[in-house]
Chains A and B, each alone.
Chain A
Amino acid sequence: MTAAIIGVGMTRFGRDLEHQLPELAFKAIDEALRDAGVSKEDIGFIAFGNVGGWSGEFFPLPIVCEYAGLNPRGGMRVEAACASGSAALAAACMAVESGYADIALAVGAERMNELASTPAIVELLGRGGNFFWEFEMLGLTFPAYYALFARAYMDEYGATEEDLAKIAVKNHYYGSMNPKAQFQKKITIEDVLNSRYVAWPLKLYDCSPITDGAAAAVVASERIASRLTDTPIWVKSQGIATAPANLTMRRDLLSIESVVEAARQAYRKARIEDPVRSLDLALVHDCFTIAEIIAYEDLGFARRGGGYLLAREEQTYIGGLIPVNTDGGLKAKGHPIAASGLAMIYEAVKQLRQEVDRGRQAPIKHGQALIHNVGGTGHFAYVTILSLEKP
């Protein structure tokens, strides 16, 4: 059994206090249904990615279903921290591949600005680790977790803050051309280096922002997908893995072991041996600039210790070794936690169909794209391979 994505939608990311969570979700669902050319009556199952806790609804899916007119269709909320969007896609694919539904909907939505202040949001996200032993007595924050990775990496390989800044500059460059991005503005290395420290050595411009937004994908069975569209985007494989929550129980801070495992599964199932020669582009989880550099190595785009050189040599722009984050990444496009994975899926689908705005369209030769979506600091890892070719 195989599943294909036949429609995608997403809201414009940003600070959006005008729309409630169900309204954000509806906008993404509506666009995805139109894109797929199906109606809400055709949906057999809904997987709703949402981390929540910002305030608002405790059980958000029923409110989304009610608002979007999806009653009496059934579904469930899916949570895998910042990888919840990819987890929702996995659940929708499982529903279709098992034969439970012909067409399923994967939705991710988050309204982070419901929490009024940055310190309050920092507190909530800081709980993302091991609550007592990493947060309560220490005051570790999410940027601080990744700052530890950054320090370990810079120490081991000699990467500099300027190398990290290169990632932010690249992602803002592509964000400047993406009408759905939160920050549609180019920045310079100096802008990054002059921004204030959030958790040394990470500065404000090394960090993805606080964002409201939603994204959705319509997933269909093999039989239905080929009938409804000429360009179904096949979900060729998904690798799914976890790693210890507490950083003290990880092997080291130079790699995210769950990503290595998820990539191994995804490459094996998709029969990919040389990723950079098999993929047209990759969307990677750049919640912090260091995370994108480590992802290059964990995904096999660069050897160990060579990830920062890809950034330094600008090999991940279109025209380089492999284009990465052509939508602006989490850094510039925004990071509404549970929507991010599906927003990456949205970009990958549009890229493979060659429907992206000029300047951001990567050349499509192999017909394959990779989506790397990480929850926490690798607590969850999802690596998805999408393909124009039926597996």
Chain B
Amino acid sequence: MRVPGYWRNMSFLYRLAGWKCVHCGAFHHYKPVVCRRCRSKEFAQVELPGSGRLIAYTVVRSPPKEFERCAPYAIGLIELEDGTKILSQLTDFKENELRDDIRVEAVFRRVRINGEQGIIEYGYKFRPALSQS
């Protein structure tokens, strides 16, 4: 990724901050012109809840070029506590600890260092929550 692109996405990558439609609650990574779901034009800046439930996950063993040094890595589809869905790499898990439906929480991690311009990219990943009740 190029540096300006990375900077633009920092608020989401660093703190899961984006925009929610005040009428229907749809989440948008950027402040859009109109809500893609209900066409309203009013948005509030929000931070998404940092915890949720793992819907499904996979472990990538045949990676794309830029992720060759990271493989194998796990990626999950997560439903956050407010109902927003998010895709994320998974981290800090022990063998056999990942299961669909477990509770997960966001952590701040280095994502990769081999971007186009050699910058070290940080962002969110999710890990199994200590308390599963």
Contact = CB atoms under 8 A, between A and B. Distances in A.
Interface of A: 117-120, 122-123, 126, 132-141, 143-144, 147-152, 155, 196-202, 247-249, 253
A198 B123 CA distance: 25
B85 to A, nearest CB: 4
Nearest to A134: B87
Contact of A139 (B5, B57, B67, B86): B67
Contacts of B92: none
B13 to A, nearest CB: 7
B62 to A, nearest CB: 4
A138 B87 contact: yes
B89 A139 contact: yes
A297 to B, nearest CB: 17
Interface string B11-50: 0010000000000000001000000000000000000000
B29 A122 contact: no
B56 interface: yes
B121 A199 contact: no
A138 B88 contact: yes
Contacts of A134: 87
Contact of A199 (B59, B70, B84): B59
A144 B57 CA distance: 9
Interface of A is mostly: helix
A290 B64 CA distance: 21
A141 B87 contact: no
Contacts of B75: 138-140, 144, 148
Contact of B65 (A123, A136, A247, A248): A123
Given A152-B56, A247-B77, A249-B85, A123 B61 contact: no
User: When A and B form their complex, which 3 residue pairs have the shortest distance between CB atoms, in order from nearest?
Assistant: A123-B64, A147-B58, A139-B67
Given A197-B61, A200-B58, 16 more contacts: A119-B63, A119-B64, A119-B65, A120-B65, A122-B65, A133-B29, A135-B64, A137-B13, A137-B111, A139-B64, A143-B62, A144-B60, A144-B75, A148-B56, A199-B60, A248-B86
B72 to A, nearest CB: 8
14 contacts: A119-B62, A120-B65, A123-B65, A126-B64, A135-B64, A138-B75, A138-B87, A139-B66, A139-B75, A144-B58, A152-B100, A196-B61, A202-B58, A253-B77
A94 B65 CA distance: 40
A196 B61 CA distance: 9
B64 A248 contact: no
B1 interface: yes
B81 interface: no
A141 B85 contact: no
